Every structure is written in C-alpha cells, then in structure tokens.
Structure 1
Amino acid sequence: MTTLKRKRARANGEGTIYQRKDSRWEAAGYVLAADGTRKRIRVYGTTRREAADKLAEKITDSNRGLPVATADSTVGDYLTYWLGSVAIHRLRENTHTRYAACVRLHLIPGLGTKKVARLTAKDVRTFLDRLRTTCQCCTQGLDTEQKQCCAVGECCQKRLSASTVTYVHSVLKSALEHAVREDELPRNVARNVKAATPRPRRFQPLTPVEARQFLDAARADRLHALYELALRTGLRKGELLGLHWEDLDLTTGTATIRRSLQRTRTGGLTHLPTKTRASERRIALPTECIHSLKEHRGRQDRERGQAGSAWSDSGLVFTTPTGRPLDPANLTRRFRSFLHRAGLRRIRFHDLRHSTATLLLEQGVDLVVIKELLGHAHIGVTAGVYAHVRLRLQRQAIDTLGHALGPSDNDSDDPPAVAVVR
C-alpha cells in the first residue's frame, strides 16, 4: 500500500513559497506598505530557504510596524520609507539631513506621484532637465510668500547649480538601488540617465608667498598650532577639532586620526567616526607642528590653572579657554576674523586643505602620498580634485622640455659624444 507523503502545512503568516519555471524560488506574503495599507509582495531566491528568509525578514519588519516598500508604491511613499527605515541606519546624521531636504524640496514635488514600478529613464531625465531650467523661487512657492519674483512678474531665474542637480540625481539612484537589492525593481532606471558632470568648484589655494605670510601671522594667535597643523598636514576641520592629546605622539612625531567633531541637529557637538574608512589614518607630524603643539599644550595648562573649577577636562587638543570643545561654526568665524586682522586674502577654512595638496603637488610629491595624507578613499578623488594643478605642472614640464630641445647658441654640426650607459 502506497503511503502518500503529506505536504507540510505553512505556518500562519509564512506566506506562499513555490519554485518557478525558471528554477528560481518565489515567496509571497502580505506586509505593511509605505502608504499604510497591507499589500502582497514577492521576493525571489536561488533556493527555497533563501526566498523564505527574505520573506520572513520583510514580514518581521512589518509586524514591528516598519513599512515595506512595494512595487506599486509611489516614488514619494517609497522615498519616505527609504529615508525613515533604511538610509537613517546607514548614513551619518548630517548626511541624512541633507538627503531628507533633497527629497522634500525636489524629488517628491517632481516625481512623488509616479509609481516606482512604472518609473522610466525618460521620466528621470525629464525631471532633471526641468530641475536645471526652472526658477526655484517659483517651484517652491517662495515668491508667493515673500511677494517677489514671479509673483510680481519679475522672475529672478534662481536655478539650481549643476552640482546640486547631480546631488539630487545621486540621492534618487541610491534610493532605487535599494529597491533593486530588495527585488522590488528589476533595474535602477536612474542609473541609465547620464547627468552632465558639473564643473569642479573653483578654489583659490594659498600661494607659497601667501602661505608663509599666513604662518607668520598665525604665530600671534591663540590657535596658532591649529592653523599650522591645518596648512602643513591638510587635516579637515572636524578632524582637527576632534583630536585628543592621546592621539598625538610628540616624541615620535605622529598623529592618529580616529574621529571628527561635528555639530548635529539632535546631538549637538558630537564625536563621529571619520568621513570614510580611509580617513582613519596615522600621519607624520612636521617638526614645526611638533614645536607649536608643545607650546599649545603649555598654554592650555596655564588656562586650566586660571579656570580652576570651571575647567572642563575634555581631553581635546583644541578647546575654548575653559576646556570645552570648539564649535566648528565658531572656528569658521574666528578664522575669518584672523584673516581680516592679518590683512590676508579671504579664503574658506577648507581651502587650507586644498593649499596643502596644491603646494605638495607643485613640489613634486607623489599623488599616492598626498592621497594617504589627506585621507581620500580613492586616488581618483585626489586626482580629480587637483586635476587643474596637475595640468599646470604638465604644461611647465612640457615647456621645460621645449627649452631643452630648442635651438642653442652652442649648437654645432659635430656628432654628439658617445655616452656610456650603466
């Protein structure tokens, strides 16, 4: 007598799992969607276990009250879900804030009502073209609120910069890429749209003469050591403000960059990991910086004694006179004031970092060494930012070769002497 093998009953909420004709496994079930309703989703895997695990993960999130994006979600609903449930766990807070502003101001007004599954490359390209050419005062209704621009018949033509349009495009690509990884979309249509490469931001680094004037003027400033360290090593503002004395070895002349001090909306002044994994690095300190840091430590010891019980022992290298962390915005204001008092050209604090790299390049330092000093993730970043410097050096090299190959008064028809090549 043949005994029929009974099919295992699915547990409540497990969903449907079966093998497709293309040999992949498909699992389907109901989850909480981004618009607040319950919708059926499908996930796929090369094995039954893989498909079941993917569906179980989505159902678990749904049971915890976390919405799951579905293919028939609108772009607006999906972006809201992505920001609140995915990006918030992967991005630094300030980056997430910028992403959220980008979604709120541009992506949702421009593409929010379209279905994610029906979004095409043409839709994205049309949206980006409109973003480049439309006055933002009119688009965001600022003219009506303030009775200006188009509201009074005098459009100011305030368009987004090319870099901002590129940023909006990159945020959309990141969001849709997650939908592809989650098997909600077969492809990322935003990646099929080639946006125009924005021109690199122009910056005016210090010339060697200006750099020497800067260092001379900084000697009389309380933050002399910070300014000198910024120009001689190219450290970012947050990296400088996040330095602890324990990160410095003034005996061997090294500094370990582990963290960055930034102001966030929720946490105030907060120590965060470095910008990228490559930014966490160990650098050699110039002799001049070692001397100025030792002098700075002596000054800080005197300030600690003068502050008494009001001193806040943060362990930071650069602090207020009472030992508290220096706010990045306050440092920017102090820097501008310092430049004005010293009669120096006005530059951004970040231009000190550009000055470091430019001066090193002009001295013939290898690009790889500069990349490691600056803490760039890839050498392509270093090469791209300073492409104009490298081009200028190429021209100088070509001109030098041209002078060497040009006619000379000492030219003669005599054959050159045979040189011994070793």
Structure 2
Amino acid sequence: MKSINIYERGGTLYIDARTEDKRLRLSTKLKNSPEALQFVKENYKLFIKDRQEALNAFYGLAIPKETIKKPLYKPIKELSLHKKEHTKSSNNEINEVLQDLFQEKQTLKPNTLLSYKIFMKQFKEFCIMQNITQFRDFTRKNCFDFITFLKTKNNKNSTIKLKIAMLRHLFEYAIKLELIEKNIIFMPKMSQSIEELEKAELKPFDLDQVKLLLLNAKGELRSFLTIAFFTGLRTGEILGLKKEDINLDKNKASIKRTLSQNKMINAPKTKSSYRVIDILPIIRAELIQLMNQEGEFLIQKSRQRLRSDFINLQKSLNIQPLRRLYDTRHSFASIMLSKGEEPMWISKIMLGHCNLNQTFATYAKYLPKKVENRALFLKDFDLCENFA
C-alpha cells in the first residue's frame, strides 16, 4: 500500500487505500468510536480482504485465524482520522471522484475523452455555484438546475442528454465507492422546438443537385464532394483517408480511422465502421489525382474550411435549404436506395451499418415507390390442374 487513510463520514468509518496505480474507498459499516477506530487501524487489511469477516471479528461473532487480542497488522504512519470538510478545495469528495473517474477513462478515444473533460469542467463549475461538495448533497432539483445551467452554455438538447448520461455514470461510480446508496440522476423529457425538428430532419440532395454542385466545385472541395457523394463515407472518415488506404488495382478503400473536428485521429465510430468499401468508377479519376499530390492524407484542407467553402458554393448556386457536409452521406444512401441498388451493399459495405434495420430506420422512405402489381411471374401459374 502506498497510503492508508481512515476517516469519518456521516458517523461511519471509511478506509481510503491507495497503491501506485489504484485507489479503493470502502465503508467499514462501523460507527465511529475509539474502539472501532483502533480496531480498523489494526485490521484494515482484513476489511479490504473480507469486510464481513472483519465485522464478525469486531462484534465477537467469529474469531479470525489470527488473534484479535493484538494488532493483526502494524499500523502505518499514513493512518489518520478526520472528517471530510465541505470546501471548494481540490480535496472535496466530488473533485476527487471526478479526478479518479477521468483517470479510468484514459483508454477511451481522444474525442470521447475530450467530451468527458468538458462535462467534468462544467459539472465542477455548477457544483461550485451551488456549493455542493459531496454526492449526497446533490438532489433531484439540482438535476433540473444542471440542465438549465447547460442550456445557458448553449448546449443543444442532444448534447445535454449526453452530459446527463455522463452524470448518471458518475453517480453509478459513486455508488460503487459506497459514497451514496442510490442514483437520483434522471433525464426529463425535453420537447424540441419547430426549428430543432426542422434542423434534425434529413435533407439529402437529389441527383440533379449533386451534379450541379460537382460541376461548380473547385479544388479539394470538388475532390471531397466527389468522394462523399459516391461512397457515403462520414466526413471524418474521408478526412482520415491516407494514400496507403487506397487500392486502385482492386478498386477498394480501407476505412481504418477518422479525423475529428479537433484534428484528432480516432478509431472509426463503431466496430462495423471498420470496413473495405468499393471505389466506383466515377471517383477513380479524382482519387488518382489526389494520390499524385504531396502529403500523407488524401484531403489536406481542414473541416472548417471545407464547411465554409461548401456553404458558399450552395449560396452561389441558390440551393436551399443550406446543408451540412454530413448530408452528402444521407444523399448517397437516399439516391442509391431510390435507384434500386442492393440495400445490403449500401448498408454493410458502404455505410458501415451493423445491420439493415439501422439503414431502413433512417432511409426507408427513399426506397423505390410502391408497385401496384406484384409477383407478375405467377400470372400463368395455374393450380386448377392439381384438383382435377
């Protein structure tokens, strides 16, 4: 053990044990008293190993293998007893747990880790405003107040839902540390405004608009749009493409990474996002040109610059409403489905969806229009002769 700290919370004794790479907080279930404190000091390892055996020994319900008439283990210098103070210092309970949880999240994707960092910063700011230093002081009303606080930070509803999910995860972590007994965090139903609903609605380009955009786009924007419209790749997946990922001999491209908004290289979004897509003839010439340029990545221009150029292009062509770069992916899916291309190819190979249900849930309305007369091959199939 690197250090052992014994302290009181709510009249109960707790053990805080630290090693080089791990930390354990444990309630002893013993009310603070001189006898209990002395027993915990002498037997803290037994509590960590088997708390119930330690409690049985304390109450005389069972005698452990070692005698309890003398200390089972020598106390160490780091042992101390104190009450946790409700301060705004870095030693308060919430700050300490946030720090521990953040350390456990270090294996996450850089983008996800950044999201946790932003959430934790905002949650600490909120707790300081509300003078909250312990998890048990956080109430259901505080949950509503935190949502209001996030709205003042101009968070969208979807972002707020994500941060409340992170908050719930934080409180689950606190339960494991036995700092609280139940998780009170919940996400109230949030109604979307008409503007939000309109913004969330898919607005794919039709084939004529795609042609118009590509005929008028210049430079790397044209290259990006050509790849985007005819592969269905996500924006980050295109920006993450390297020359080594392209196999022009087999007309294949391997999707191995994505480039985030903050220029961080991440793994693809999901397991099914790792895939090898087909290079259609219409983008082959564009790829050859990009392969002959300097640089490791196919597209050198930043996402922000591409976004700005794309908006300006739409305005110059009087295309309304204005769409995002990501809508090129929706356009690929809707056009391919409406033209009768194989849904499984669109879904699994090109879009990287885990199954067809995911594709149909989003793009079902773009499937070919209803046919009035189905199964025409059965027209001359006569069953009457079977009953002769």
Residue 296 of structure 2, aligned match among 312, 315, 318: 315
Structure-2 separation of matches of 1:357 and 1:39: 50
Contact 1:75–1:108 under 8 Å retained in 2: no
Taking the aligned partners of 1:254 and 1:244, their CA distance within structure 2 comes to 13
Amino acid at match of 2:347: I
What is the rounded CA distance, in whole Å, between the counterparts of 1:86 and 1:131 in structure 2?
A: 24
Deviation at 1:351, TM superposition (A): 1.0
Cα 1:30–1:171 shift into 2, 3 Å: closer
Distance in structure 1 (CA, Å) of the matches to 2:290 and 2:204: 26
Instruction: Please name the residue that 1:287 is paired with.
Output: 281
**Structure 1: distance between partners of 2:16 and 2:162:** 35
AA partner of residue 246 (structure 2): L
Change (3 A) 1:358 1:327: same
Deviation at 1:178, TM superposition (A): 3.3
Match of 1:250 in 2: 248
Would you say 1:327 and 2:288 are equivalent positions?
A: no
Q: Cα gap change, 1:102/1:257 in structure 2, threshold over 3 Å: closer, same or farther?
A: same
- Aligned partner letter, 1:254: K
Q: Which amino acid aligns with 2:296?
A: G
| 1:174-213 correspondence runs (5 A) | 174-180=169-175, 188-190=183-185, 193=186, 195-196=188-189, 201-213=200-212
1:100 aligns with 2:63: no
Retained in 2: the 8 A contact 1:131–1:160?
A: no
Partner Cα distance (2:122, 2:204) in 1: 33
Matched residue type, 1:196: K
Q: How does 1:251-270 map to 2 (within 5 A)?
A: 251-262=249-260, 264=262, 269-270=263-264
1:136-191 Cα shifts (integer Å, max 9, x gaps): 55xx7xxxxxxxxxxxxxxxxxx86432331221111222333455565555443x
Aligned-partner residue type, residue 214 of structure 1: L
- Quick one: percent identity of the two aligned structures? 19
User: Aligned in 2, Cα 1:94/1:29: closer, same or farther, shift over 3 Å?
Assistant: same
SS state at 1:361 partner:
helix
Trace 1:271-282 onto structure 2 (pairs within 5 A).
271-282=265-276
Write the mapping of 1:95-174 to structure 2, written as runs, cut at 5 A: 95-105=112-122, 109=126, 113=132, 115-117=134-136, 123-124=139-140, 126-130=141-145, 136-137=151-152, 161-174=156-169
Amino acid at match of 1:354: H
CA 1:112 to 1:293, structure 2 compared with 1: closer, same or farther past 3 Å?
Answer: farther
Q: Distance in 2 between matches of 1:235 and 1:12?
A: 49
Q: Which has the higher contact order (CA 8 A, sep 6+)?
A: 2
Asked if structure 2 preserves the Cα contact closer than 8 Å seen for 1:205 and 1:354, the reply is yes
Matched, 1:41 2:26: yes
Counterpart check, 1:419 vs 2:363: no
Residues 1:127 and 1:370: Cα distance change in structure 2 (over 3 Å): farther
SS at match of 2:226: helix
2:72 corresponding residue in structure 1 = none
Check the 8 A contact 1:231/1:353 in 2, yes or no: yes
Pick aligned residue for 2:312 from 323, 337, 340:
337
Partner of 2:233: 235
1:173 partner amino acid: R
Cα shift at 1:336: 2.4
**Structure 1 unaligned regions, length at least 5:** 1-10, 17-27, 33-37, 55-69, 141-158, 301-312, 320-325, 406-415
Name the counterpart of 2:33: none
2:329 is equivalent to residue 353 of structure 1: yes
Distance 1:338 1:186, change over 3 A: same
Q: Distance in 1 between matches of 2:355 and 2:132?
A: 38
- Are residue 216 (structure 1) and residue 212 (structure 2) matched? no
> Counterpart of 2:295 in 1: which secondary structure?
coil
TM-score (norm 2): 0.62
Q: 1:81 to 1:13 in 2, by over 3 A?
A: closer
CA RMSD between the two structures:
4.5
CA change 1:234–1:187 in 2 (3 A) is farther
> What is the rounded CA distance, in whole Å, between the counterparts of 2:2 and 2:155 in structure 1?
52
Decide whether the 8 Å contact of 1:13 with 1:29 is kept in 2: no
Residue type at the aligned position of 2:135: V
Aligned partner of 2:103 in structure 1 is 85
Whether the aligned pair in 1 keeps the contact of 2:333 and 2:346 (CA below 8 Å) is no
Q: Which amino acid aligns with 1:100?
A: K
Rate the CA distance shift 1:221–1:163 in 2: closer, same or farther, 3 A. same
SS at match of 1:172: helix
- Classify the secondary structure of the residue corresponding to 2:269: coil
Letter in 2 for 1:355: S
State the Cα distance separating 1:288 from its structure 2 match: 0.8
Taking the aligned partners of 1:39 and 1:420, their CA distance within structure 2 comes to 76
